[in-house]
């Protein structure tokens, strides 16, 4: 199994030199470990470690798991709990809970760790298999053991009822005189056209400045994020897609698609990922908008199942999306021009509220900062913010991340 994986990744000479080290380590484990180990488990653990070292979204699936995965991908209408997942320090980690979903209503948030699903530990569990376990018929229950990143070190047992998860609609309003606010919490196909209709409505109501709010927008397609950015850009590079065996693509803005040329601020947080990150990066690096909030998650890649000789498959990132300046968004996320942190909950009652629940403007520190940037400019606001100048933004992942991302 490991030879199959390495054989696809490098030339023969390189592969054999790496395999000789691996084989020697296996031999030492078998002969000198305190007790004779199950070598199948040892090898499987090595495969999971190999994949996680290069790609937190990668999974090895055996034949049975891969068949389940293929059925899941064909059955998009199946019930779920609304979690978008990654892997951190060996466990399944939450990128985002889709707003309004069972997971979001239970208060599960970006960075939380899923320690077990229906009593099955997620340590070294293939990420794709965790997604399979979370799917099921609407109305059925699934039990999660969740370590909340913002709370105590003890995991909490949470029971969720699966349902057909619906993506939240685009919402918009005039929040102050002349300032239109567009809230986009998912970017499935067709969402950029929905945003366009809201922009037209806001401009007809007299909006002279726009806040594009992409907080907790992790679901959907990367290319839909590029369509979103194109609504605001006359020209320039939006992104590029590059991989070893994937033909390089460059995505450019089209003047014919430009809808809004008003002053613009984009708002992001730790739950901003995928297409939303690409939109934020394109608008920021083309100097079309300032970005306010928290650094985005860092999840912008093309993933495919790579079949293996044993009937299983590796789900792997085969190409990454790059920002106009050439940064791999998956590696760095999008760093805001002006960092603004979400207000932490101050009571147990507040902690029980869905993380993405709308706050009144008076309590929404990130949105207030975006309004301030529209009024004063990013440079002045950054200078006025205590500790802002020269400070590093809070990492998108509060927990340690082993090794580089793909």
What is the per-residue pLDDT across 148-190, written as a single tens digit (0 to 9) for each?
876 767 889 999 999 999 999 999 999 998 999 999 999 999 9
Q: Give the mean model confidence (pLDDT) for residues 345-356.
A: 48
pLDDT at 346: 44
pLDDT over threshold 80, residue 383: no
Residue at a domain's end among 134, 161, 188: 161
Q: CA separation (Å) from 25 to 41, 123, 131?
A: 14, 22, 32
Angle at 302 between CA 401 and CA 59, to 5 degrees: 55
Give the Cα separation of 107 and 85 in Å (integer).
15
CA proximity to 162, closest of 191, 132, 185: 132
pLDDT over threshold 60, residue 351: no
Domain of residue 95: give its range.
75-161
Is 389 contained in some domain? no
pLDDT at 329: 95
Of all residues in the chain, the percent with pLDDT exceeding 70 is 86
| 86: CATH | 2.30.42.10
Q: Work out how many domains the chain is built from and give that number.
A: 2
Say yes or no: 155 and 177 in one domain. no
Say yes or no: 128 and 179 in one domain. no
CB 356 within 8 A of CB 97: yes
Say yes or no: 254 and 182 in one domain. yes
CA 131 to chain centre: 14
Say yes or no: 180 and 291 in one domain. yes
CB 228 within 8 A of CB 184: yes
User: Which comes out higher in pLDDT, residue 36 or 233?
Assistant: 233
Say yes or no: 231 and 367 in one domain. yes
pLDDT at 152: 63
Say yes or no: 257 and 367 in one domain. yes
For all residues of the chain together, what is the average pLDDT?
A: 86
Phi-psi region of 247 (alpha: psi -120 to 50; beta: other; left: phi over 0): beta
Is 328 contained in some domain? yes
pLDDT over threshold 90, residue 76: no
CB burial of 89-114 (b: ≥16 within 10 Å; e: otherwise) equals: ebbbbbbbbbbbbbbbbbbbbbbbbb
CB neighbours of residue 71 within 10 Å: 12
Say yes or no: 178 and 157 in one domain. no
pLDDT in tens, 28-63: 888 888 998 888 888 888 888 888 888 888 999 999
Say yes or no: 356 and 227 in one domain. yes
CB 171 within 8 A of CB 185: no
* Eight-class DSSP state of 79: B
Is 12 contained in some domain? no
pLDDT over threshold 90, residue 309: yes
Say yes or no: 216 and 256 in one domain. yes
CB 2 within 8 A of CB 22: yes
Phi-psi region of 144 (alpha: psi -120 to 50; beta: other; left: phi over 0): beta
Structure confidence at residue 347 as a pLDDT band (50, 70, 90): very low
């Amino acid at each position: 199994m490991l030879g199959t994986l390495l054989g696809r990744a490098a030339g023969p000479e390189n592969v054999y030199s790496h395999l000789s080290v691996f084989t020697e380590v296996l031999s030492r484990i078998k002969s000198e470990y305190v007790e004779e180990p199950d070598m199948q488990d040892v090898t499987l653990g090595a495969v999971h470690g190999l994949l996680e070292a290069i790609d937190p979204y990668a999974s090895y699936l055996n034949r049975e798991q891969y068949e389940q995965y293929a059925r899941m991908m064909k059955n998009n209408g199946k019930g779920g709990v609304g979690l978008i997942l990654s892997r951190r320090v060996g466990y399944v980690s939450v990128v985002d809970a889709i707003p309004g979903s069972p997971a979001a209503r239970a208060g599960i948030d970006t960075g939380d760790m899923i320690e077990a699903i229906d009593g099955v530990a997620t340590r070294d569990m293939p990420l794709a298999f965790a997604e399979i376990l979370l799917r099921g018929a609407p109305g059925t229950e699934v039990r999660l053991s969740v370590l909340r990143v913002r709370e105590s070190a003890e995991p909490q047992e949470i029971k969720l009822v699966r349902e057909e998860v619906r993506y939240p609609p685009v919402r918009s309003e005039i929040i102050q005189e002349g300032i239109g606010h567009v809230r986009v919490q998912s970017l499935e196909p067709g969402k950029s056209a929905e945003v366009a209709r809201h922009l037209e409505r806001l401009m007809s109501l007299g909006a002279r400045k726009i806040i594009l709010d992409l907080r907790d927008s992790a679901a959907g397609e990367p290319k839909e994020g590029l369509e979103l950015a194109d609504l605001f850009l006359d020209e320039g590079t939006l992104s590029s897609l590059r991989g070893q065996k994937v033909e390089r693509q460059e995505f450019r803005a089209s003047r014919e698609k430009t809808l809004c040329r008003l002053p613009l601020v984009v708002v992001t947080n730790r739950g901003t990922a995928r297409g939303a990150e690409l939109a934020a990066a394109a608008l920021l690096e083309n100097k079309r908008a300032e970005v306010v909030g928290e650094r985005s998650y860092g999840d912008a890649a093309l993933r495919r199942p790579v079949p293996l000789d044993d009937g299983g498959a590796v789900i792997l990132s085969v190409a990454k999306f790059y920002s106009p300046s050439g940064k791999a968004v998956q590696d760095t996320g999008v760093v805001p021009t002006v960092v603004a942190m979400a207000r932490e909950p101050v009571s147990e009652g507040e902690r029980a509220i869905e993380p993405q629940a709308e706050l009144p403007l008076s309590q929404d520190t990130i949105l207030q900062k975006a309004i301030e940037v529209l009024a004063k400019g990013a440079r002045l606001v950054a200078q006025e913010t205590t500790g802002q100048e020269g400070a590093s933004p809070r990492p998108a992942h509060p927990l340690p991340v082993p090794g580089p991302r793909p």
